[in-house]
Amino acid sequence: MESPFEMITNVDKVENAYYIEVKPGEYNAKYWNKESVYFADEAFAYFYTTICKYVPQYQPTQVTEIKAETWLRISNQLQELAYFLSTNPPMIKLKKWIDFSKVKETYKQFDHHKNKYIRELINMINEFTVWITKVCQTQSYITILGT
Protein backbone atom coordinates (compact mmCIF):
# COMPACT_ATOMS: atom_id res chain seq x y z
CA MET A 1 0.00 0.00 0.00
CA GLU A 2 1.60 3.23 -1.15
CA SER A 3 -0.56 5.71 0.75
CA PRO A 4 -2.31 5.17 4.06
CA PHE A 5 -5.20 7.18 2.55
CA GLU A 6 -6.53 4.48 0.28
CA MET A 7 -9.91 2.83 -0.14
CA ILE A 8 -9.29 -0.79 -1.10
CA THR A 9 -11.98 -2.44 -3.18
CA ASN A 10 -10.32 -5.83 -3.61
CA VAL A 11 -10.16 -7.95 -0.45
CA ASP A 12 -7.09 -9.74 -1.84
CA LYS A 13 -5.12 -6.49 -1.48
CA VAL A 14 -5.78 -6.21 2.27
CA GLU A 15 -2.36 -6.71 3.85
CA ASN A 16 -3.15 -7.48 7.50
CA ALA A 17 -5.85 -7.39 10.16
CA TYR A 18 -5.43 -3.68 10.86
CA TYR A 19 -8.18 -2.67 8.48
CA ILE A 20 -11.69 -1.38 8.87
CA GLU A 21 -14.16 -3.19 6.64
CA VAL A 22 -17.21 -1.27 5.44
CA LYS A 23 -19.80 -3.75 4.26
CA PRO A 24 -23.01 -3.14 2.30
CA GLY A 25 -26.00 -4.41 4.26
CA GLU A 26 -26.53 -5.56 7.81
CA TYR A 27 -24.05 -7.44 9.97
CA ASN A 28 -24.06 -11.18 9.23
CA ALA A 29 -21.04 -12.28 11.32
CA LYS A 30 -18.99 -12.67 8.14
CA TYR A 31 -15.79 -10.73 7.50
CA TRP A 32 -13.59 -10.24 4.43
CA ASN A 33 -16.57 -9.78 2.11
CA LYS A 34 -15.86 -9.27 -1.60
CA GLU A 35 -18.45 -6.46 -1.88
CA SER A 36 -16.93 -4.53 1.06
CA VAL A 37 -14.39 -1.73 0.93
CA TYR A 38 -11.41 -1.61 3.27
CA PHE A 39 -9.39 1.16 4.89
CA ALA A 40 -6.24 0.99 6.95
CA ASP A 41 -7.45 1.69 10.47
CA GLU A 42 -5.26 4.80 10.70
CA ALA A 43 -6.82 6.20 7.51
CA PHE A 44 -10.40 5.48 8.60
CA ALA A 45 -9.67 7.22 11.90
CA TYR A 46 -9.77 10.53 10.00
CA PHE A 47 -13.54 9.91 9.61
CA TYR A 48 -14.07 9.36 13.35
CA THR A 49 -15.31 12.88 14.19
CA THR A 50 -17.70 12.95 11.23
CA ILE A 51 -19.15 9.52 11.91
CA CYS A 52 -19.60 10.27 15.63
CA LYS A 53 -21.55 13.41 14.78
CA TYR A 54 -24.31 11.16 13.38
CA VAL A 55 -23.60 7.90 15.24
CA PRO A 56 -22.41 8.88 18.75
CA GLN A 57 -22.03 5.24 19.85
CA TYR A 58 -19.51 4.49 17.05
CA GLN A 59 -16.33 2.77 18.27
CA PRO A 60 -13.59 1.78 15.78
CA THR A 61 -13.12 -1.63 17.40
CA GLN A 62 -16.77 -2.67 17.22
CA VAL A 63 -19.38 -3.62 14.64
CA THR A 64 -21.64 -0.67 13.84
CA GLU A 65 -24.72 -0.96 11.64
CA ILE A 66 -25.75 2.40 10.22
CA LYS A 67 -28.93 3.12 8.26
CA ALA A 68 -28.52 4.28 4.67
CA GLU A 69 -30.14 7.67 5.31
CA THR A 70 -27.60 8.32 8.08
CA TRP A 71 -24.78 7.30 5.74
CA LEU A 72 -26.00 9.85 3.21
CA ARG A 73 -25.75 12.56 5.90
CA ILE A 74 -22.26 11.29 6.81
CA SER A 75 -21.34 11.37 3.11
CA ASN A 76 -22.51 14.98 2.79
CA GLN A 77 -20.46 15.92 5.84
CA LEU A 78 -17.40 14.14 4.41
CA GLN A 79 -17.85 16.09 1.18
CA GLU A 80 -17.89 19.29 3.26
CA LEU A 81 -14.66 18.11 4.89
CA ALA A 82 -13.09 17.52 1.45
CA TYR A 83 -14.09 21.02 0.36
CA PHE A 84 -12.75 22.49 3.61
CA LEU A 85 -9.45 20.64 3.11
CA SER A 86 -9.21 21.93 -0.47
CA THR A 87 -9.07 25.49 0.89
CA ASN A 88 -5.72 24.64 2.57
CA PRO A 89 -6.94 25.63 6.03
CA PRO A 90 -4.59 26.43 8.89
CA MET A 91 -3.85 23.43 11.10
CA ILE A 92 -5.67 24.91 14.08
CA LYS A 93 -8.97 24.76 12.11
CA LEU A 94 -8.45 21.08 11.23
CA LYS A 95 -9.09 20.14 14.86
CA LYS A 96 -12.81 20.82 14.30
CA TRP A 97 -12.87 17.99 11.74
CA ILE A 98 -10.11 15.63 12.79
CA ASP A 99 -9.57 14.24 16.29
CA PHE A 100 -5.78 13.94 16.26
CA SER A 101 -5.91 11.79 19.41
CA LYS A 102 -7.60 9.09 17.28
CA VAL A 103 -5.20 9.08 14.32
CA LYS A 104 -1.76 7.55 14.05
CA GLU A 105 -0.13 10.68 12.69
CA THR A 106 0.25 13.36 15.28
CA TYR A 107 -0.82 16.93 14.73
CA LYS A 108 2.84 17.87 14.17
CA GLN A 109 3.44 15.04 11.66
CA PHE A 110 0.30 15.93 9.74
CA ASP A 111 1.40 19.55 9.61
CA HIS A 112 4.81 18.48 8.27
CA HIS A 113 3.22 16.51 5.38
CA LYS A 114 0.09 18.66 5.16
CA ASN A 115 -0.14 19.21 1.38
CA LYS A 116 0.40 15.53 0.55
CA TYR A 117 -1.91 14.28 3.30
CA ILE A 118 -4.67 16.71 2.37
CA ARG A 119 -4.51 15.75 -1.31
CA GLU A 120 -4.64 12.02 -0.50
CA LEU A 121 -7.35 12.43 2.13
CA ILE A 122 -9.54 14.38 -0.32
CA ASN A 123 -9.11 11.62 -2.91
CA MET A 124 -10.06 8.96 -0.36
CA ILE A 125 -13.12 10.96 0.75
CA ASN A 126 -14.26 11.44 -2.84
CA GLU A 127 -13.93 7.74 -3.63
CA PHE A 128 -15.72 6.72 -0.42
CA THR A 129 -18.63 9.14 -0.82
CA VAL A 130 -19.26 7.88 -4.39
CA TRP A 131 -19.29 4.32 -3.02
CA ILE A 132 -21.65 5.27 -0.17
CA THR A 133 -24.11 6.93 -2.57
CA LYS A 134 -24.09 3.90 -4.87
CA VAL A 135 -24.58 1.38 -2.04
CA CYS A 136 -27.36 3.41 -0.42
CA GLN A 137 -29.41 3.03 -3.61
CA THR A 138 -29.79 -0.73 -2.99
CA GLN A 139 -29.09 -1.30 0.73
CA SER A 140 -30.92 -0.18 3.88
CA TYR A 141 -27.74 -0.45 5.98
CA ILE A 142 -24.00 -0.19 5.67
CA THR A 143 -22.01 -1.84 8.44
CA ILE A 144 -18.60 -0.89 9.79
CA LEU A 145 -16.67 -3.97 10.91
CA GLY A 146 -14.03 -2.59 13.25
CA THR A 147 -10.55 -3.87 13.91
82 with 128: CB under 8 angstroms? no
Kindly state whether residue 2 falls inside one of the protein's structural domains. Answer: no
Kindly state whether residue 1 falls inside one of the protein's structural domains. Answer: no
* Total of domains in the chain: 1
Kindly state whether residue 141 falls inside one of the protein's structural domains. Answer: yes
Domain that holds residue 22: 7-145
What is the per-residue pLDDT across 65-90, written as a single tens digit (0 to 9) for each?
A: 999 999 999 999 999 999 999 999 99
49 closest CA partner among 94, 92, 91: 94
Determine the pLDDT at residue 35: 96
From the number of C-beta atoms within 10 Å of its C-beta (0-12, 13-18, 19+), residue 18 rates as exposed
Angle formed by the axes of helices 68-86 and 114-136, to 10°? Answer: 150
Kindly state whether residue 61 falls inside one of the protein's structural domains. Answer: yes
Kindly state whether residue 23 falls inside one of the protein's structural domains. Answer: yes
Q: How high is the mean pLDDT of the chain?
A: 92
Show Cβ contacts of residue 122 under 8 Å, excluding neighbours closer than 6 positions.
Answer: 82, 85, 86
Euclidean distance between CA atoms 51 and 60, whole angstroms: 10
